[in-house]
Structure 1
């Protein structure tokens, strides 16, 4: 039954897959193995489907059950348990239950820091997720006018620190991945005598650190702009704005053409979404600041913003075309 559900899931028939997995879980529970590893795997797939279909509250309930079972079976600090905690925290974040999400992400960070190397990509990923939750908490403080300026600034600064740490980790992992792929490419070229496109294995090696890097840079630009908004002097506002622009332009430089990497990488959907987001953020920043300069500078900024938005539309159109093409096959 579960295998049929997997087939239906891969065919995009998520509702049918959901019902079959629920039936298979009911059978396991009736057989007294509802807390087995087999049941956990099926619940994990069910939670994945529920998240994908927007049934976040139901997903939260399943993920809480998964976490409870794994804590009993493997202990509270096993990496499998921490992965379950991470998944639950992500769902709680989407439900705006930010305090509990923060608590779980902190738990994940503490365990991973003890179990993994300081530059492991999972530590960078957890720092990024924790920073995003922290940023959202600060945003809520601003929206609800709770806390003073210093308190809000401290929360944003905490998010900034975590993002910069995540960026350093992602940069190191990205450089290592590039070096490994370059060495493999040279060996293949020497054997085959011609250059080949990026293979699936090489692409899968490059995507995680590169996506982690551009996501963290994009998020950092937002936090830096929030801090600029809270700055207590015109000079600090100007410095923060320049830093946000520098970060975004660096991010876009990487996304436009990653050094030494074939075109296949920049066409990955997740990276294209970040590309569009960065373009929109930089365009908004330029428009926001155009009134603060001379008329000539304002016109230049507005023209730049229009070009950025046009590029974003082009990428979105390209993504939509490829999606339609894949669906028609």
Structure 2
């Protein structure tokens, strides 16, 4: 009981929550805050050995794997002892095995580690790597090859290599850290459990599912024994294990673990935390992929309720939650509620964002699709109302197309600027989203034109020029941007392009597919018949 309570308290004090959504500057924040003592020395007796080092392995998950980095804890952080003499002596520290280590090594080890972390925060990975290597060497020379300080330094360096995707360098360091901890504290120690969680995270990031599963299962077994089943650390590992099982196709087991991890957070008064929201979102995505719309709707309503209470409608997080629910309602044929939510989302976005923001364009596209569904429902009873619905859809689509064009033009100009004037960050993601919205809007506009033609009963073999123009613009837009490899290789963008291309071929018959390029590159190219 003493071990469980003390370890639990330490984790609560030092844990780096996976609930955070990180900005770049926060993304590489560290789990430790050193409590150095300029005067005095610290003696750690055998009973306190489990406080010596803790490797924290929390990560943030959102339908995938985060690259968030959490470094190992300083071996002496938080290791307060009743035997602290406080006699003012400087220069020597007594470590657990009884050896005497020069304070010079301790100071240099900490200096290298702190400076490396500082560089990491700034994104200066080359400088950080050099210092982490120096910290590892200093730990080996100052504390011994198999000391927990070496495990700490190895884990730090492994995390850096993981972020740099130097996986062949990272894996041996993770394994070495675990081996040292096992030798120092035994195979069932809590530090071994958290280190195993870290290694599971590493394997999950590479989609090595079986290795990830084995490490998460080991971590969960240790955490349950030491901390108790209901501890948030257990919930964290349970969630990650659930993700692995889901990706392995074991959906029932995955669902049970993820639901339990959410329940444990709720029982621990963390039901409104960011991490709990993220897990609920993942669960709703699982339901949507399994076409369990009712279950997805229930979870999304819960998310929206939490967001409304905690952030209100002056937050884009609430808007995104509402939009997700609206799209699920639309898929469930609950058009009325979907439309009301989407209109509220649009009003909130217009109040929070510039008028030409791509999120507004996406919102208008969703509303256009709802208006088309309204038209389909009305056409049998009220043709005039059905035509009005299509006019509403067309108006939304024209605005969506305009916004997407403006966004792409702006981002293209930024791309052409000299590097020092270019805008870093999420511009590529924004460009990707704008192109998808533009392609979808043009494709949907062609559908609106055909629906209007059907209502007017003027089809009669005549080509719908407006629909044709929308499809040709869709194809032309793709060809304009397909020279960018990141766009050409995007499955979402390819699918939108192919949809436009097939419709043009089926409806107008004046285009064909280039089979050679389709075989070579996995996508189809438009060639005009001679």
TM-score category, normalised to shorter length: 0.7 to 0.9
Higher helix share: 1
Report how far residue 70 of structure 1 moved: 1.3
Partner of 1:318: 522
Question: Which of 482, 489, 498 in structure 2 is aligned with 1:267?
Answer: 489
Secondary structure of residue in 2 paired with 1:105: helix
Q: Does 1:284 align with 2:509?
A: no
Partner of 1:97: 334
CA–CA separation in structure 2 for the residues paired with 1:40 and 1:101: 21
- Structure 1 range deviating more: 50-59 or 166-175: 50-59
CA–CA separation in structure 2 for the residues paired with 1:75 and 1:187: 36
Q: Does 1:231 align with 2:456?
A: yes
Q: 1:225 to 1:316 in 2, by over 3 A?
A: farther
Q: 1:210 to 1:234 in 2, by over 3 A?
A: closer
Report how far residue 18 of structure 1 moved: 2.5
Give TM-score, length-normalised by structure 2: 0.49
Report how far residue 29 of structure 1 moved: 2.8
Q: Does 1:246 align with 2:469?
A: yes
Partner of 1:296: none
CA–CA separation in structure 2 for the residues paired with 1:160 and 1:109: 17
Higher relative contact order (CA 8 A, sep 6+): 1
Q: 1:4 to 1:229 in 2, by over 3 A?
A: same
* Runs of 4+ off more than 6 Å: 185-188, 232-235
Partner of 1:197: none
Asked if the contact 1:276/1:315 (under 8 Å) is kept, the reply is no
CA–CA separation in structure 2 for the residues paired with 1:100 and 1:315: 44
Asked if the contact 2:358/2:434 (under 8 Å) is kept, the reply is yes
Partner of 2:10: none
Asked if the contact 1:174/1:206 (under 8 Å) is kept, the reply is yes
Matches within 5 A, 1:176-195: 176-183=410-417
CA–CA separation in structure 1 for the residues paired with 2:408 and 2:250: 36
CA–CA separation in structure 2 for the residues paired with 1:37 and 1:267: 32
CA–CA separation in structure 1 for the residues paired with 2:490 and 2:275: 32
CA–CA separation in structure 1 for the residues paired with 2:264 and 2:494: 42
Secondary structure of residue in 2 paired with 1:246: helix
Report how far residue 205 of structure 1 moved: 4.4
CA–CA separation in structure 1 for the residues paired with 2:373 and 2:419: 42
Matches within 5 A, 1:145-164: 145-147=380-382, 149-164=383-398
Unaligned runs of 5+ in 1: 189-199, 287-300, 320-329
Question: Which of 442, 445, 466 in structure 2 is aligned with 1:217?
Answer: 442
CA–CA separation in structure 2 for the residues paired with 1:276 and 1:133: 23
Report how far residue 283 of structure 1 moved: 2.5
Asked if the contact 2:375/2:389 (under 8 Å) is kept, the reply is yes
CA–CA separation in structure 1 for the residues paired with 2:351 and 2:309: 21
Q: 1:136 to 1:314 in 2, by over 3 A?
A: farther
Question: Which of 115, 123, 141 in structure 1 is aligned with 2:378?
Answer: 141
